[in-house]
A = this chain, B = another copy of it.
Amino acid sequence: MNKRQAQKQFTREKIIAAAKQIFIEKGIINTATSQIAEAAGIAHGTLFLHFPNKDSLVVELLDAELSKFSNNIKQLIVETADVNILLSQYLDIIQAEEGFFSSLARELPNYKDELRRKILFRESLIREHFHQVIEKGIEQNIYAQVDIPSALTFLFGTINYYLSLKTSFVQQGSVIEKFKPSIIKTMKDLLLPVQ
């Protein structure tokens, strides 16, 4: 990559970085593209040189971020077969980018169909991993015979709820950190085998 390309890549990254920062702070939907450009230290028009429109910037931003996230999760999966540990580590990863996921949870229902589908598809891949681990646990009589999809919707729904209403649950600091024990405990209760 020559200097030109590097420079372009750098600008693109400045935009993405600024957009991500703003996304975390106040969401993208209610942020003007001019503000994003200003935060990135570039001219307003430059933004549209790198992204044909605001939507595609959002798509790219979320796609990149969720892709990183997915990769982290995948590695995790391979290494553990215990739901509690998996869940604990999953929550840690979310917590590490909690501002991001909180904004995502807040804005997700307002995204256009296609983008929402894209994001929910990524979530479904993660659910799949949880599904397999729980399924094995049930086979081995470690876990109760719950309906796994329902149980997972409870889990993901609850995490989404905490994230989207984060500011109502904590004044500062991490919601996930605060409620992690209770989330894990409740999942444990739900999976507790009948004795």
A183 interfacial by beta-carbon distance below 8 Å = yes
Q: Is A186 a contact partner of B109 (Cβ separation < 8 A)? A: no
Chain A residues numbered 75-102 whose CB sits less than 8 Å from any CB in chain B: none
Chain B residues contacting A109 (CB-CB under 8 Å) are 105-106, 164-165
A151 interfacial by beta-carbon distance below 8 Å = yes
Question: Of B147, B151, B168, which contacts A120 at CB under 8 A?
Answer: B168
Interface centre among A27, A105, A185, A190 (most CB of B within 10 A): A190
A158 interfacial by beta-carbon distance below 8 Å = yes
Considering only CB atoms, which chain B residue lies closest to A144 in the complex?
B189
Question: Of B157, B168, B183, B194, which contacts A116 at CB under 8 A?
Answer: B168
Chain B residues contacting A157 (CB-CB under 8 Å) are 154, 157-162
Chain A 125-161 against B: per-residue CB contact (8 Å), 1 yes, 0 no? 0000000000000000000101101110111111111
A74 interfacial by beta-carbon distance below 8 Å = no
Q: Is B106 a contact partner of A185 (Cβ separation < 8 A)? A: no
Instruction: Given A157-B158, A158-B158, decide whether A183 and B117 contact each other with a Cβ distance below 8 A.
Output: no
Chain A residues numbered 157-194 whose CB sits less than 8 Å from any CB in chain B: 157-162, 164-165, 167-168, 179, 182-183, 185-186, 189-190, 192, 194
Interface residues of A (CB under 8 A from B): 27, 30, 105-106, 108-110, 113, 116-117, 120, 144, 146-147, 149-151, 153-162, 164-165, 167-168, 179, 182-183, 185-186, 189-190, 192, 194-195
